């Protein structure tokens, strides 16, 4: 299963990347519909291998899962993932400078089932794809608006 999103954010690339990789803030506030964002490893971000436990509501119930920082290349790429017995999930966040104060943001989620249980989970998610995409778009649009507001406040 693949999901993607792209948008232009009216802030410099370094600013957008710094806000998107503010792991201390995620641990304190969560991210969009994901809350709490609890660190679950001795490794602290921004080090590769840092892990968090979080949850998202799906079909009226909170679904818990963990995320691991798999890749971090300043100022353009961050990859979070979850590789388990049930499924292999990779979320890639890319920030590309298109101007002095303009950044293209792209998000790609790729999920593969590793078991029968994982296949059932992904099939259920696929059935709710339109609602999930709408929620994802709202979260990322809100993230972009927060970045732009914070940049304007600092300028």
**pLDDT, block means (10 residues), the chain with 155 residues:** 94 96 83 74 90 79 84 95 88 96 96 89 86 89 94 93
Domain CATH number, residue 86: 3.30.530.20
Write down the residue that tokens 């802030």 correspond to.
11
The number of domains in the chain is 1
Q: How many other β-carbons are positioned within 10 Å of the β-carbon of residue 10?
A: 14
Calpha distance 19→92 (Å, rounded): 16
Strand order in the sheet with 102-113: 2-9, 102-113, 87-99, 77-83, 61-73, 51-58, 38-39
Give percent of the chain with pLDDT exceeding 70: 95
DSSP 40: -
pTM of the full structure = 0.88
pLDDT score of 118: 81
Residue 119: which domain range?
A: 2-154
């Amino acid at each position: 299963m693949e999901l993607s999103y792209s948008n232009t954010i009216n802030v410099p690339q370094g600013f957008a990347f710094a806000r998107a990789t503010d792991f201390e803030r995620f641990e304190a506030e969560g991210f969009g519909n994901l809350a709490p964002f609890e660190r679950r490893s001795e490794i602290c971000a921004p080090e590769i291998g840092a892990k968090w436990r979080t949850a998202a509501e799906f079909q009226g119930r909170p679904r818990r899962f963990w995320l691991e920082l798999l890749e971090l290349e300043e100022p353009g790429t961050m990859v979070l993932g979850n590789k388990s017995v049930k499924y292999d999930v990779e979320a890639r966040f890319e920030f590309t400078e298109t101007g002095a104060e303009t950044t293209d943001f792209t998000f790609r989620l790729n999920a593969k089932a590793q078991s029968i249980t994982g296949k059932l989970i992904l099939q259920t998610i696929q059935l709710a794809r339109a609602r999930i995409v709408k929620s994802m778009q709202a979260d990322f649009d809100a993230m972009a608006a927060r970045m732009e507001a914070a940049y304007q406040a600092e300028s």
